[in-house]
Structure 1
Amino acid sequence: MIDSRATGTVSSEESLLRDIRDLARPLVSETDLEPLVERARSARFIAIGEASHGTHEYYSWRAALSRRLIEDGRIDWIGVEGDWPDCWRIDRWVRGLDPSARDARAVLASFSRWPTWMWANSDVADFLDWLREWNDQRPPASRVGFYGLDIYSLWDSLDRIIGWVQQNAPDALPEAMHAWQCFVPYGEDPQRYAWSTRMVPESCENDVVELLARVRREAAHDGDDAFDAEQNAEVATGAERYYRAMVRADRLSWNVRDIHMVDTIDRLAKHFGEKSRGIVWEHNTHVGDARATDMRGAGMVNVGQLLRERHASDGVLLIGFAGQRGSVIAAPAWGERERVLPVPESRPGSHEDLLYRALDGPSVLVFPTERRRPWLAATLDHRAIGVVYDPARERGNYVPTVMGARYDALIWFDQTEALVPLSHEPSTPGPEYETEPTGF
């Protein structure tokens, strides 16, 4: 018997297995994604997750689903768990605004912040090459953009702001340089800056807030360059707040980051217009509604939850991924070189374990409107692998999850393989703290 804590009932294991079999459809070719494409037609925001940042099947099938959604109807933008300046260069290329790079691999070579394999890998490169070709066949107003939602690029964003201000609003240069000079003593090291604010209660917060206000005023006119400048100012403001929160040893920094990402999604939706539609690529821990996990009890929110709360009337579709065993690209510690690591079979009694025993192979499970069903209502462990991973410590990689409340659909694989990175990480530690979850 398995305790279904979400409903206070006790379900037999066989009833859970029957429920999974009833919901699942085999995933053999891209045509098997059609039930998801049909469900997405009523959604303005389609968030597609991944159960790790280093699994080929998650990336390749997410790309396949995104292609089908773009081909099926109007998709205006894709927002990913990446830095705004890096992804802005990708956006320029995929929309034909920067012809300097010959292919996506050349564009992705500019990614330098660890972990580069999250985006500089063969699956992303193949998708971006396809997207560039798709966009080339369409008028500029109908081309699909590619944008970073994340918060880490403090120094890159400040640099982009200064460049824009010099060309477009030279009167605002003093504010921009004042904000830059505030951070200079820390040598582009966010840890040094964050710890300094804990030791001495002085920060650069006022400087970046004033810069944001000025850039907002100067960039009030329409246009991509002005939009880029304003978003970089938002990143600088959010990143400063994030790094200060990060050293407090609480989970406020997680909320700062995910709220920033959803605010960026809202700005993209506004930029493209009230009828625009977008796709979001993030880890399951961001995409799946936090209220269906133990994150809720810890006071944490995430992208999926906030999208549902802010945009229920617009239509939100949350799609998760899961796998049983195989291999993954990850690092043994934060900032270290990536490795191909084994993914052992899932824990007994977990969602992955039941899916493996119920199904014969890769499957798509689209959840019905009524979710008071045995498996969908059961609280069971659900695996989440971050960029740092130790296969010998699997217990810390599971998040108690009510599957039917966390997602609207799930894509399942019994066997997975590691991503193929375009280049290898340097062996020196990176500058960031670990922020990707390996389980809560």
Structure 2
Amino acid sequence: MHRYGDEVAAIARPLADEGDLDVLLDRVGDARVVLIGEASHGTHEYYTWRSALTRRLIAERGFSFVAVEGDWPDCERVNAAVRGSAASPLAALLGYERWPTWMWANEEVADFAGWLRAHNEGRADKAGFHGLDVYSMWESLREVILWLRENDPEAADHAVDAYQCLASYAEDPQSYAWAAKFLRASCADEVVRMLVELRGRDLAVWQNAEVVAGAEHYYRAMVTGGASSWNVRDRHMDATLARLLDHYGEASKAVVWAHNTHVGDAGATDQAALGEVTIGSLARERFGAERVVLIGMGGHRGSVIAGRAWGAAMTELRVPPGRPGSLEDILHATAPPRALFVFPPLGERPDLLVDEVAHRAIGVVYRPEQEQLDNYVPSVLGDRYDAFLWFDETRALRPLHPLHVDTHEYETYPTGV
């Protein structure tokens, strides 16, 4: 018998269909923010079960919107589609062009977005779909200029100044970052003036301005190394989430979709020792731990969609069995093939939830032959999450198209999450 066998058996609930999520909805209770993670950006089971839980949160618990680890402009096209004011959600998702396209342009997300459009039909309180991430600097800047030309031409000067400054770097963030570090050629002043001008305006243009400011800061931080750039990105996502909740109103509630390394509480991993924060830890601080539910996911073996290098073509890759002694190895030996864990209160937690164990994290860049060294995060599971979904065997998600687009985006640690 495995040392954790009895305690896993006591808290694991078999996961066969959406009805088995009832206990998790009870745990959500009156929480305002539910963050649902994933152990990779390319696994069918993580996306489908996250969608299943989110459907129930929206339909049965009145959650107001989904906010994802994706770019604001791309996700706003999906938002318009699920609200019925634009072409189909499928067409909007096919418009994703920045690598890694498969992360959101996949059949699993298209199925959810189609459901959301049908759910919203005829409703006054339509549920939205929004992006939290910081990468879309030039796309967001163009959106700002277009909005100002249509709505307030006299206020466009600061946005044009920012665009002209950034345009000299040919939309290459690496060139901009190194110029800012070594040549002191920053566009920060122009970007800040634009942001001050637009702060408090229409949500879409205001958020695009915040993205430009966040991205400019992010690229400058990347060349210094360390936790700084990671924290710029997660603090930007945290601030965007708060802005969306304010926009939707005092009674609004949010579902967040992101990688486990963003959703889990940094204080329960080695991320804290590195000086990193996460959306999950920031949400607990901002809204209170009692109003936030953090849900992780994991799997033992199977297949995944990822790239073997940053910017490489998507590939279906084998996911080997979890490393000996890892969380994945433990649950493979002790848990049902599909299981839900809703963690008990602190004083009642078994050893598995208080011991530090290695927990796998697969990014958009993945090299299975190196994962024993590169892909495990030391974690105290009961502090990192409030609940956990487990899948012993997983399969790759289904991309909408095989389009390969070169990218100049920098990697983040863990790789590409």
- Amino acid in structure 1 at the alignment position of 2:398: V
Contact 2:63 / 2:253 at 8 angstroms: preserved in 1?
yes
Contact 1:17 / 1:375 at 8 angstroms: preserved in 2?
no
1:413 has 2:398 as partner: no
Number of equivalent positions:
415
Determine helix, strand or coil for the equivalent of 1:249.
coil
Go from structure 1 to structure 2 and tell me whether the alpha carbon gap of 1:92 and 1:314 turns closer, same or farther (over 3 Å shift): farther
- CA–CA distance in structure 1, aligned partners of residues 255 and 306 of structure 2: 25
- CA–CA distance in structure 2, aligned partners of residues 410 and 313 of structure 1: 17
1:388 has 2:365 as partner: yes
- Normalised to the residue count of structure 1, the TM-score between the two structures is 0.92
Greater mean deviation of Cα atoms: 14-23 or 36-45: 14-23
Q: CA deviation at 1:365?
A: 0.4
- Amino acid in structure 2 at the alignment position of 1:215: L
- CA–CA distance in structure 2, aligned partners of residues 403 and 20 of structure 1: 13
Contact 1:399 / 1:439 at 8 angstroms: preserved in 2?
no
Determine helix, strand or coil for the equivalent of 2:199.
helix
Deviation per residue, 1:110-133 (Å, 9 max, x gap): 100000000000000000000000
Corresponding residue to 1:316 among 282, 292, 299:
292
Residue aligning to 1:7: none
Residue aligning to 1:71: 59
Determine helix, strand or coil for the equivalent of 1:171.
helix
1:35 has 2:23 as partner: yes
Deviation per residue, 1:151-171 (Å, 9 max, x gap): 001001111111111122222
Deviation per residue, 1:156-194 (Å, 9 max, x gap): 111111111112222211111101000111111111111
- CA–CA distance in structure 1, aligned partners of residues 399 and 5 of structure 2: 36
RMSD: 1.4
Residue aligning to 1:424: 402
1:110 has 2:95 as partner: yes
1:212 has 2:192 as partner: no
Contact 1:49 / 1:319 at 8 angstroms: preserved in 2?
yes
- CA–CA distance in structure 1, aligned partners of residues 219 and 403 of structure 2: 24
Deviation per residue, 1:78-106 (Å, 9 max, x gap): 100000000011101101122xx2x3221
Contact 2:44 / 2:397 at 8 angstroms: preserved in 1?
yes
Contact 1:44 / 1:314 at 8 angstroms: preserved in 2?
no
Correspondence 1:107-256 to 2 at 5 A: 107-139=92-124, 142-216=125-199, 219=201, 226-256=202-232
Determine helix, strand or coil for the equivalent of 2:318.
strand
- Amino acid in structure 2 at the alignment position of 1:298: L
- Normalised to the residue count of structure 2, the TM-score between the two structures is 0.97
Seq. identity, %: 51
1:298 has 2:274 as partner: yes
Residue aligning to 1:19: 7
Contact 2:2 / 2:334 at 8 angstroms: preserved in 1?
no
Greater mean deviation of Cα atoms: 262-271 or 430-439: 430-439
Deviation per residue, 1:124-145 (Å, 9 max, x gap): 0000000000001422xx1100
Corresponding residue to 1:434 among 394, 411, 417:
411
Q: CA deviation at 1:308?
A: 0.5
Q: CA deviation at 1:344?
A: 0.3
Contact 1:15 / 1:374 at 8 angstroms: preserved in 2?
no
Q: CA deviation at 1:419?
A: 0.7
- CA–CA distance in structure 2, aligned partners of residues 368 and 133 of structure 1: 36
Contact 1:83 / 1:151 at 8 angstroms: preserved in 2?
yes
Q: CA deviation at 1:314?
A: 6.2
Deviation per residue, 1:33-64 (Å, 9 max, x gap): 11111111221000000000000000000001
Greater mean deviation of Cα atoms: 47-56 or 359-368: 359-368
- CA–CA distance in structure 2, aligned partners of residues 259 and 233 of structure 1: 15
Q: CA deviation at 1:360?
A: 2.8
1:376 has 2:353 as partner: yes
Q: CA deviation at 1:374?
A: 0.7
Corresponding residue to 1:361 among 322, 327, 337:
337
Contact 1:151 / 1:260 at 8 angstroms: preserved in 2?
yes
- CA–CA distance in structure 1, aligned partners of residues 335 and 136 of structure 2: 42
- CA–CA distance in structure 2, aligned partners of residues 384 and 439 of structure 1: 10
Q: CA deviation at 1:15?
A: 4.4
Deviation per residue, 1:391-426 (Å, 9 max, x gap): 101121000000000000000001000011001132
Determine helix, strand or coil for the equivalent of 1:186.
coil
- CA–CA distance in structure 2, aligned partners of residues 329 and 159 of structure 1: 31
Contact 2:343 / 2:349 at 8 angstroms: preserved in 1?
no
Residue aligning to 2:78: 90
Q: CA deviation at 1:381?
A: 0.2
- CA–CA distance in structure 2, aligned partners of residues 412 and 360 of structure 1: 8
Go from structure 1 to structure 2 and tell me whether the alpha carbon gap of 1:314 and 1:172 turns closer, same or farther (over 3 Å shift): farther
- CA–CA distance in structure 2, aligned partners of residues 257 and 404 of structure 1: 25
Q: Unaligned stretches of 5+ in structure 1?
A: 1-12, 220-225
- CA–CA distance in structure 1, aligned partners of residues 3 and 378 of structure 2: 19
Contact 2:364 / 2:416 at 8 angstroms: preserved in 1?
no
Contact 1:320 / 1:409 at 8 angstroms: preserved in 2?
yes
Corresponding residue to 1:399 among 365, 374, 377:
377
Contact 2:12 / 2:336 at 8 angstroms: preserved in 1?
no
Q: Unaligned stretches of 5+ in structure 2?
A: none
- CA–CA distance in structure 2, aligned partners of residues 287 and 25 of structure 1: 22
- CA–CA distance in structure 1, aligned partners of residues 412 and 96 of structure 2: 19
Deviation per residue, 1:228-261 (Å, 9 max, x gap): 0100111110000000001112220000000000
Contact 2:365 / 2:416 at 8 angstroms: preserved in 1?
no
Residue aligning to 2:37: 49
